[in-house]
Amino acid sequence: MLAAVYKSSKKADTYLFIEKRDDFSKVPDPLMATFGTPIFVIIVDLAKRKKLGTADLSNVKQKLIEDGFYLQLPPPQENLLDELKRQNGVKSD
């Protein structure tokens, strides 16, 4: 199972996996507007992978089959102030 991977020109660390290179026909227009101009990264053979960076490989495959695309968002940013408070034993509000 091959997937073409694109990074977003508008959103940092956001990637779009599609079934065929440059075929965005299954990606909703509002998503494409938010994603911006796709920047091609790589074609990946998902069948030969055991792991796929931060994305869950089985979820990527399932979404590609069901929806024709998979959107990988960056992990949520941690609140550094809350982390510092926790390390120093201060309760957060």
pTM over 0.75: yes
Is 54's pLDDT higher than 80? yes
Tell me what pLDDT residue 66 has: 96
CATH number at residue 23: 3.10.510.20
Point out which residues pair with 18 in neighbouring strands.
Answer: 4, 69
pLDDT confidence band for 78 (50 / 70 / 90): confident
68 within some domain: yes
Mean pLDDT of 28-38: 96
Is 75's pLDDT higher than 90? no
Tell me what pLDDT residue 84 has: 82
Domain hosting residue 16, numbered range: 2-88
Number of domains in the chain: 1
93 within some domain: no
Is 34's pLDDT higher than 90? yes
- Contacts by residues 42-51 (CB-CB < 8 Å, ≥ 24 positions apart): 42/4, 42/5, 43/2, 43/3, 43/4, 43/5, 44/2, 44/3, 44/5, 44/17, 45/1, 45/2, 46/1, 46/2, 46/3, 47/1
59 within some domain: yes
Residue found by looking up tokens 């929806």 in the block:
67
